[in-house]
Chains A and B, each alone.
Chain A
Amino acid sequence: MGKVIKITRGKDISLVGEASNEIVSVASPSTFAIKPTDFKGLIPKLAVKEGDEVKAGDCLFTDKRNSSICFTSPVSGEIAEIVRGDRRAIQEIKILADSNTSYKSFSTIGFESKTRDEVKSLMLEAGLWPFIVQRPFGLIADTDIVPKAIHVSGFDSAPLAADLGITLKGEEASLKAGFDVLKKLTDGKVHLNVHSSKDKSIYSAVEGVELNTFSGPHPSGLVGVQINKIDPINKGDVVWTVKPQHVAFIGKFFLSGNLNLEQKVVLAGSEVKKPAYYSTCLGVNLSALLNGNIKDNVRVISGNVLTGSKLSADGYLGFFDNQITVIPEGNEYELLGWLFPSYPRPTISSTFPISKFLKKKFKVNTNPHGEPRAFVVTGEYEKVMPMDIMPQQLIKAVMAKDLELMENLGIYEVIEEDMALCEFVCTSKIDVQRVLSEGLELMSEES
């Protein structure tokens, strides 16, 4: 039996624009894209050129440092465009989709009895490997390593996050198969972490995993927090993490022999006219979902408001994301706003008694409500950091580029998302995630 863990330090930021439970189908959009920029430190090596025809599951590009890791097409169609940015770095590989998807077939029959290496090579070839994220540093998993454990956070606690009980409903068999495959990849345990008050019936078929139960506010759903509470990462440890929707992809692939990356995503936020769940596919162009469905002067975020990435309204859904959030852009001046806020805003500070203690949902914009300053206030990050890590000291160690201190203070245990709430609460408006990211990069170069 797994552990039962209560998270007390954290904050559920309740926002306007929660999705209704309705699942909407949209006309399949014409283009999809895979973005190499979704992967930290990846240098892509193209395997296709513009005009090539691909099937779902065909390789688009590989990792230059490990050519066995393929990134494959989620749909069948024609390579429409390869978008390059600064210094010709590849930004997006756009695919013009066929109306009927044709799949590349893989021989996955009898996968239950396949060995670790056989399973691995199938996953690599089908482009499922990049769904496995390795800690420390949050990189694509190293193919030569057997991890200490694999952790799956069975719920998402972020603001306006998808209810996995809705998005993964009906995927019970795929989830079971997916977890069976994950078990082959480690000699240690596979942890499945669920929330005490969220729907866990989708995992009812899953067997042979360590089931841990969490309770409490965000960031209880972050896998980094869960690892820290269950079996923390020490120097030299390597653990892998996978999101449940990606476990379902893996399961579906091994059950059918086809790479089927159809998924349900949640579209939420105060600026969405019809916040709901949408049935679509990985790498989808957002215009099909957003056209006529959002207001003006907005920020479109692939992911949640704390960790997601900014997109244009005709951008493509991020590789790891099953959520799109649309909130107002905060590009307006506010007269004496620091003293007399003109609209309520989420906060953990008691200097806003009404905002803090009134149980209400906020329509929040992207204004930082202040300018960046040096660290002054202390004891603030700790309120939203449930891990046994000293967040402010760690960030200071990164700023000082003190590698030894970073290591000693537990940088191996965190990635950017784990400290996103610290960034949210920061009085001095320090870009905590960006700073931490620099530290992680520095550490991974050194090790």
Chain B
Amino acid sequence: MKFLRDLVDNVKPTFSEGGKLSFLHSTFDAIETFLFVPNHPTKSGAHIRDGIDLKRTMFIVVIALIPALLFGMWNLGFQFHKATGVEASLFENFWFGFLQTLPLIIVSYGVGLGIEMAFAQFKGHPVNEGFLVSGLLIPMVMPADVPLWMVGLATAFAVVIGKEVFGGTGMNLLNPALTARMFLYIGYTPEMSGEKCWVPIADGINTVDGYSGATTLGNVGVAAAGGTEWSESLFSWKTSMLESIIGTIPGSIGETSVIAILLGAAFLIATGVGSWKIMLSTVLGALFMGGILNMVGGNAWYDMPAWYHLIIGGFMFGTVFMTTDPVSAAQTDRGKWIYGFFIGLLTVLIRVYNPGYPEGIMMAILLMNVFAPLIDYFVVQSNIKMRLKRVKA
């Protein structure tokens, strides 16, 4: 430890102002503070401070993502080998998925952190930790077959247009990871949806009979448009509800396993880092809207039991990891309930009424991101009105 500290102290002048590599000052600072909590004591105000800081908070979210990430890697191999009819061990499945996913993660972190550090250096502020989470979220919401350059482009767009133009971490209106996905979805729709993108099967490789990479969302969408009635056979590739919960179905890398995501959710709630209020109200919103549609009935979407909305598509992943982003969510207590409820409600509405794109949670979250400040505004107004009323009384 002493050795490491000496090493850092030795190279510090090179990166400080006037040093040879001073243009990398922000980068050096980020690495130094990652290794060592700085030795600057408090200057003003409270002399003692809580142990928590943003690094720890963000790291907690990264840990919460690990189960879904590891499962997603394994599932990728599992889907591939199942589709091509090859017997594969647990490790072979995982290794296949790992090799597919790692480049995505490297590109996402490389491009994102590179831009963050450049901005930090240019604007003279420290590098914020927010991208530690965004950088992992971005590959996890991508289809496995997405080209690397697209991931890089989307990440750059998300960081620059989604975040830095608003003033950086803490100021952004939209969730950066979803901004990246939305960018690709609108710009490169064929690569981001349909049947082919979820499992990376190169052209010329034969698949087993009956294979279809379509997701449950896609199937139900087609059935609803074509007048087919709801039945459990609409689950992706004729899997069961249980498989949907376990997550052995095609989908974006991190989104498929409800169990792995709920593990993350439990960790986020136990540590107090993720807002259980938002998660719960999102689920309630989806059940509420799904319940109304069940009562109306009519086509496959209407008749699908409301709670199935929770286990198909990206609903759980979005609910646990995207809605709870504190910066783009509503910030007031009451606001959080309203914000989550509408995300759930809109997710189901978009799924059911938008034939073009079956997955609703991404758009619902981004839409509510935009409305979050308005929700907060009304909550704050109620506090103001309470105070004004007191004057009159």
Q: Which residues of A contact B (CB under 8 A)?
A: 13, 232, 234-236, 299, 301, 305-308, 310, 325, 327, 329-339, 341, 345-352, 355, 364-371, 373-379, 382, 388-390, 392-393, 408-410, 416, 420-421, 423-429, 431-434
Stretch among B148-156, B200-208, B324-332 lining the A interface: B324-332
Contact present for A374 and B56 (CB under 8 Å): no
A416: B residues at CB distance < 8 A: 45
Known: A232-B390, A299-B47. A376 touches B327 (CB 8 A): yes
What is the bound-complex CA distance between A198 and B106, given in angstroms?
A: 59
A301: B residues at CB distance < 8 A: 47
The yes or no answer to B186 lying at the interface (CB within 8 A) is no
Contact present for B49 and A369 (CB under 8 Å): yes
Q: Which residues of B contact A (CB under 8 A)?
A: 1, 4-5, 33-57, 59-60, 126, 128-130, 167-171, 270-273, 275, 326-327, 329, 331-333, 336, 376, 380, 383-384, 386-388, 390-391
Contact present for A308 and B54 (CB under 8 Å): no
B270: A residues at CB distance < 8 A: 350
B42: A residues at CB distance < 8 A: 330, 366-368
Contact present for B48 and A305 (CB under 8 Å): yes
Known: A351-B52, A369-B37, A388-B383. A234 touches B391 (CB 8 A): yes
Residue of A nearest to B376 (CB): A393
Other A-B contacts than A305-B46, A366-B41, A393-B332, 15 sampled, CB-CB below 8 A, are A299-B41, A327-B48, A330-B42, A336-B37, A351-B60, A351-B272, A365-B48, A367-B37, A369-B49, A369-B53, A371-B38, A376-B326, A378-B329, A409-B380, A434-B45
> Can you list 20 A-B pairs with a CB-CB distance of less than 8 A?
A299-B47, A306-B48, A333-B37, A333-B39, A334-B36, A338-B37, A339-B59, A346-B48, A351-B273, A355-B51, A367-B42, A369-B52, A370-B55, A373-B129, A373-B170, A376-B130, A378-B329, A388-B386, A408-B384, A423-B49
Known: A349-B272, A376-B327, A433-B45. A333 touches B36 (CB 8 A): yes
Contact present for A368 and B169 (CB under 8 Å): no
Instruction: Report the minimum CB–CB distance from B337 to chain A (whole Å).
Output: 12
B129: A residues at CB distance < 8 A: 373
What is the bound-complex CA distance between A425 and B52, given in angstroms?
A: 8
Contact present for B51 and A335 (CB under 8 Å): no
Contact present for A235 and B333 (CB under 8 Å): no
What is the bound-complex CA distance between A232 and B54, given in angstroms?
A: 35
Contact present for A332 and B326 (CB under 8 Å): no
Q: Is the interface of A mostly helix, strand, loop or mixed?
A: loop
What is the bound-complex CA distance between A364 and B46, given in angstroms?
A: 12
Residue among B35, B36, B40, B57 having the largest count of chain A Cβ atoms under 10 Å: B57
A234: B residues at CB distance < 8 A: 387, 390-391
B128: A residues at CB distance < 8 A: 373-374
Residue among B56, B128, B329, B388 having the largest count of chain A Cβ atoms under 10 Å: B56
Instruction: Report the minimum CB–CB distance from A207 to chain B (whole Å).
Output: 30
A409: B residues at CB distance < 8 A: 380, 383-384, 387
Residue among B47, B169, B275 having the largest count of chain A Cβ atoms under 10 Å: B47
Residue among B52, B54, B380 having the largest count of chain A Cβ atoms under 10 Å: B52
Contact present for B48 and A408 (CB under 8 Å): no
Contact present for A350 and B271 (CB under 8 Å): yes
A434: B residues at CB distance < 8 A: 44-45
A368: B residues at CB distance < 8 A: 40-42, 49
Known: A299-B41, A346-B48, A390-B383. A338 touches B170 (CB 8 A): no
What is the bound-complex CA distance between A393 and B378, given in angstroms?
A: 13
Contact present for A374 and B169 (CB under 8 Å): yes
What is the bound-complex CA distance between A307 and B46, given in angstroms?
A: 6
Residue of B nearest to A390 (CB): B383
A366: B residues at CB distance < 8 A: 41-42, 47-48
Residue of A nearest to B170 (CB): A374
A408: B residues at CB distance < 8 A: 384, 387-388
B167: A residues at CB distance < 8 A: 374
Contact present for B387 and A367 (CB under 8 Å): no
A389: B residues at CB distance < 8 A: 383
Instruction: Report the minimum CB–CB distance from A416 to chain B (whole Å).
Output: 8
Residue of B nearest to A424 (CB): B46
What is the bound-complex CA distance between A308 and B170, given in angstroms?
A: 30
Q: Which among B51, B273, B327 is the interface contact of A345 at CB below 8 angstroms?
A: B51
B44: A residues at CB distance < 8 A: 431, 433-434
B271: A residues at CB distance < 8 A: 349-351
What is the bound-complex CA distance between A341 and B52, given in angstroms?
A: 10
Instruction: Report the minimum CB–CB distance from B9 to chain A (whole Å).
Output: 9
Residue of B nearest to A397 (CB): B380
What is the bound-complex CA distance between A352 and B271, given in angstroms?
A: 8
Contact present for A335 and B36 (CB under 8 Å): yes
What is the bound-complex CA distance between A379 and B336, given in angstroms?
A: 10
Q: Which among A337, A371, A375 is the interface contact of B126 at CB below 8 angstroms?
A: A371
What is the bound-complex CA distance between A5 and B34, given in angstroms?
A: 45
Instruction: Report the minimum CB–CB distance from B382 to chain A (whole Å).
Output: 10
Contact present for A424 and B52 (CB under 8 Å): no
Residue of B nearest to A392 (CB): B331
Residue among A235, A368, A390 having the largest count of chain B Cβ atoms under 10 Å: A368
What is the bound-complex CA distance between A310 and B129, given in angstroms?
A: 31
Residue of A nearest to B393 (CB): A234
Contact present for A327 and B45 (CB under 8 Å): no
Instruction: Report the minimum CB–CB distance from A396 to chain B (whole Å).
Output: 9
Residue of A nearest to B49 (CB): A368
Residue of B nearest to A366 (CB): B41
Instruction: Report the minimum CB–CB distance from B7 to chain A (whole Å).
Output: 12
Q: Which among A236, A305, A352, A382 is the interface contact of B52 at CB below 8 angstroms?
A: A352
Residue of B nearest to A303 (CB): B47
